[in-house]
Structure 1
Amino acid sequence: MDAIIFTKDQFSDLMSKLDTIQNQISFKSDPKKETYLDNLEFLTLLKISKRTAQTWRDEGKISFSQVGSKIYYKLSDVEKLMQEHYNKAFKGR
């Protein structure tokens, strides 16, 4: 077994790098913050009309939050909507 000797500066540098790595790991493991889309962003993203968005809200196809007259959608709910209506390619004939 070999012994490795560090100078004080080398040890401090090594500890600093380990702290940086630990902070990066901790940051990446934090739960993802939810992203919200306002109504215009939602309409633009899905290329739908205001009326279609209203129909989807009325039918319960998409969840939403309303603050005053502004409507917001969770990006995860939009992704869920798209995944629920995903159709795999039909088998070729």
Structure 2
Amino acid sequence: MEIISIEKKTFEELVSRLGQFVKRMDRINRQRSGRRMSDWMDNQDVCQALKISPRTLQTLRDSGRLPHSKINNRIYYRPEDVEQLIEDCNDV
């Protein structure tokens, strides 16, 4: 085991900064607490909602018309983005 010695002042500064970081992360987490992965839609959900094929869905992704997030090789969509796409199509 390796022992590292630092000044008390440096240690207290480190603890203080770590505390500020934790508070900031808690604040960000509270702001985003309304969003859970269970609220997001996967490919199958979107295809059913829009009544489109998986290939058409891929075209919407590739063209940038439908924002998405890729997590562990799975693609997810925010329901509000899907709703916006429906509204945009209805406006045409």
Tell me what 2:48 maps to: 44
TM-score relative to the length of structure 1: 0.55
RMSD: 2.1
Higher helix proportion: 2
Q: Report the structure number with the largest CA radius of gyration.
A: 1
Q: Which runs of 5+ in 2 are unaligned?
A: 1-31
Where 1:60 maps in the other structure, the secondary structure is coil
TM-superposed CA distance for 1:59, in Å, is 0.4
Tell me what 2:76 maps to: 72
Which stretches of structure 1, 4 residues or longer, exceed 3 Å deviation after superposition?
A: none
Q: Which runs of 5+ in 1 are unaligned?
A: 1-30, 89-93
Q: State the distance in 1 between where 2:49 and 2:61 align.
A: 16
Aligned residue pairs total: 58
TM-score relative to the length of structure 2: 0.56
